[in-house]
Amino acid sequence: MPKEKEVQNLSEVTVRFAGDSGDGMQLTGSQFSDTTALMGNDLSTLPDYPAEIRAPIGTVYGVSGFQLHFSSNDIHTPGDRPDILVAMNPAAIKKNISELKPGAMIIANTDSFDRKNLQLAKYETNPLEDNSLEGYEVYPVPIGSLTAKALQGTKLSPKEIARCKNFFALGLMYWLFDRPVDQTMNWIQKKFAKKPEFIEANTNALTAGYNYGENTELFNTRYNVEPAKLPKGIYRSISGNEATALGFLAASVKSKLPLFLGSYPITPASEILQYLSNYKNFGVKTLQAEDEIAGITSAIGAAFAGNLAITTTSGPGLALKTEAIGLALMTELPLVIVDVQRGGPSTGLPTKTEQADLLQAVYGRNGEAPVAVLAASTPSDCFNMAIEASRLAIKYMTPVILLTDGYLANGSEPWKIPHVNELPDIPVKFRTEKEGFAPYLRDGNLSRPWVKPGTPGLEHRIGGLEKANTTGTVSYDPDNHDLMINLRAQKVKNMVNDIPDLTVDGDMEGDLLVLGWGGTFGAIKEAVIKVREAGYNVSQAHLRYINPLPKNAEYVLKGFKNVLIPEINLGQLSKIIRSEFLIPVKQLNIVRGLPFRVSDIENKIIAILGGKE
């Protein structure tokens, strides 16, 4: 009988699963996350994988990682430094060691620490044996061979058996953190419904991993993380891309407009197209276009035809769509463009996160082409902002850009699911009255009428050439052009009366306001909490509407001696804030393709408040 294991209570843990890109680390991580969410913990995840689908085995650049931060408290980031690394091979250690917390636990698959893999990871000696991991708690587990043993007698080939080892590792982690295996068991049943031999093998591997923890002398302690005290409600775990897709589906239902998505696959935005292609029974039409330009222009066609039209992309795709965004603006059609920002410029870091498309979104077009720009702040906020972007586009008959990013897109968090009847309706009015009709008439919001082709008597022409206000005929009149330029700009400015004020977490005035936008919300929030715990007074505000800026933004910012803007770019919001309000701002810019570490922001805040900056 194994001796009774000690149970230690923890308030929060950061785990990173790492292995070859074919090792199934994303799957392992997301399964662990789903189970952890079901256990009632608050959590935040960060998948971090190479752009290569199956990068050469064993290499450092081929390492795929999945980080998960879970807690019995409210948390906002995937964690700065892991407490535990599950390393499926030497390269996983090489790549991650510098990021681990001092004294972190490393569970290493010893089977892959052979000469070849050590060489591929550029280790001269085995780190598990040469004392180089002194200071860490290393648990050597022959995951590969234990999996093979557990699957003896199955019909699977040795290669297929080897691919089950991630479930062994997952089982072991479930044991270590006292989580049930049921959720994953159910998932395996569903996933491999047509391949019973894989159900058996993966289930056995999972159970074997769990039992190994129970029986081995290696682990003496299990860890318990109590459920978090989240507001009452029904929850699910959701990623930003899924939330974005569901947000548009909801906007379609609440506006009673059919949803049309024109899109071209691009990392990390493709999933939105994938998710939405599932909802055919809502009448959703997803068109996988021949290129980025056809993605947006087909959506413009659909908007003209009377649909809730959207297009989804990432930075390079937004660049390609630029001219068409101008067309949507000029023809005054409602359109939502989603840019899931990734590392740039050019192809950049396709699978990594960044916030460097802000100026492209706000300014990047020929001519005076003001476009509303919104930015989601957390994975689940993508749902709200997709609805908001749709609402504003329809009401003001103009394109709206919604910015998310790779971290939001792939990261997940628990989401208190709203009921459909709690979501606001999106009013839509199609013009049908013939009397007094002109295509560029203006309503109180300065929006022109939306007419569905097929409406008798309202046949009209729109286009990219400048139009005479009201009549919509082609016009080269200088004064009309000046008028139209201003009208189009005013429509976007008018939205300021239609968006929420900027809220401040903390005092309304003081020494320092940390102002963020988009996906950095969690990291800034956590940094602010930490420095407050250390006795500092600091306030936080976060922009989800960037063009136009909230009405009270200037007032809020001017209440503070210092404004710090952390961004994963070289200071793009800082530029906008300076130029809009003529106030000095302090910048924190780290562009590593990764979310901010909380400590980076913390240190900067303390430096400013300590008078060192």
Partner 1 sequence: MADQMIEVKEIKLTAKDFATDQDVRWCPGCGDYSILAQVQRSFPDLVGIKKENIVWISGIGCSSRFPYYMNTYGFHSIHGRAPAIATGVKVSRPDLSVWVAAGDGDLLSIGGNHFIHACRKNIDLKVLLFNNRIYGLTKGQYSPTSEKGKITKTSPYGSVDYPFNPVALALGSNATFVARSLDRDTKHLHEMIKRAADHKGLAFVEIFQNCSIFNDGAFDILTDKKTKDDNVLVLEHGKPMLFGANKDKGIIMDGAKPKVVEIGEGKHRVEDVLVHDENDESPMLATLLAHLTDDPAMPTPIGVFRQISKSTYDGDVEEQIASVKNKKGEGDLEKVLFTGSTWEVN
Give which of 225, 227, 216 is closest to 5, Cα–Cα.
216
Number of residues located near partner 1, criterion CB under 8 A: 71
Q: How far is the CB of 203 from partner 1 (least distance, A)?
A: 18
Q: How far is the CB of 465 from partner 1 (least distance, A)?
A: 6
* 211-270: contacts with partner 1 (CB under 8 A): 227, 230-237, 246, 249-250, 253, 258, 260, 262
Considering only 34-42, 48-56, 500-508, 583-591, which stretch makes contact with partner 1 by CB under 8 A? Answer: 34-42
Q: How far is the CB of 386 from partner 1 (least distance, A)?
A: 13
Complex with partner 1: residue 465 or 570, whichever CB lies closer: 465
Q: How far is the CB of 58 from partner 1 (least distance, A)?
A: 34
- C-alpha 340/C-alpha 204 separation (Å) is 39
* 462-491: contacts with partner 1 (CB under 8 A): 462-465, 473-474
Contact code string over 374-413 relative to partner 1, x by CB under 8 A: ----------------------------------------
**What torsion do the CA atoms of 559, 561, 567, 573 make, to the nearest 10 degrees?**
60
Complex with partner 1: residue 460 or 493, whichever CB lies closer: 460
Give which of 136, 138, 150 is closest to 215, Cα–Cα.
150
What is residue 337's three-state secondary structure? strand
- C-alpha 10/C-alpha 214 separation (Å) is 19
Contact code string over 179-208 relative to partner 1, x by CB under 8 A: ----x-------------------------
The amino acid sitting at 572 is Q
Complex with partner 1: residue 1 or 476, whichever CB lies closer: 476
Considering only 142-150, 195-203, 208-216, 326-334, which stretch makes contact with partner 1 by CB under 8 A? Answer: 326-334
* 429-458: contacts with partner 1 (CB under 8 A): 452-458
- C-alpha 213/C-alpha 150 separation (Å) is 14
The amino acid sitting at 480 is N
Cβ–Cβ under 8 Å, residues 523 and 596: yes
End-to-end CA distance of the chain: 61
Complex with partner 1: residue 60 or 259, whichever CB lies closer: 259
**What torsion do the CA atoms of 94, 98, 100, 104 make, to the nearest 10 degrees?**
70
Q: How far is the CB of 413 from partner 1 (least distance, A)?
A: 14
CA-derived radius of gyration, the chain: 26
Select from 18, 161, 293, 601 the one that contacts partner 1 (CB under 8 A): 293
Residue 204's contacts (CB-CB under 8 Å, 6 or more residues apart) are 150, 151, 154, 164
Complex with partner 1: residue 196 or 227, whichever CB lies closer: 227
- C-alpha 603/C-alpha 531 separation (Å) is 9
Select from 91, 176, 266, 287 the one that contacts partner 1 (CB under 8 A): 287
| Torsion angles phi and psi, residue 173, rounded to 5 | -65, -35
Complex with partner 1: residue 109 or 298, whichever CB lies closer: 298
* 307 lies in the site for partner 1, by CB under 8 A: yes
* Alpha helix segments (H runs only) across 50-98: 90-96
Unique residue bearing structure tokens 């062994």: 168
Considering only 133-141, 414-422, 540-548, 605-613, which stretch makes contact with partner 1 by CB under 8 A? Answer: 414-422
Select from 285, 342, 448, 575 the one that contacts partner 1 (CB under 8 A): 285
Q: How far is the CB of 136 from partner 1 (least distance, A)?
A: 33
- C-alpha 78/C-alpha 82 separation (Å) is 9
User: Which tokens go with 159?
Assistant: 């290669």
For residue 187, CA distances in Å to 177, 199, 206 come to 19, 10, 12
- C-alpha 557/C-alpha 543 separation (Å) is 12
Q: How far is the CB of 279 from partner 1 (least distance, A)?
A: 6
Complex with partner 1: residue 89 or 239, whichever CB lies closer: 239
* 420 lies in the site for partner 1, by CB under 8 A: yes
Cβ–Cβ under 8 Å, residues 147 and 207: no
Q: How far is the CB of 326 from partner 1 (least distance, A)?
A: 8
Select from 14, 109, 110, 331 the one that contacts partner 1 (CB under 8 A): 331
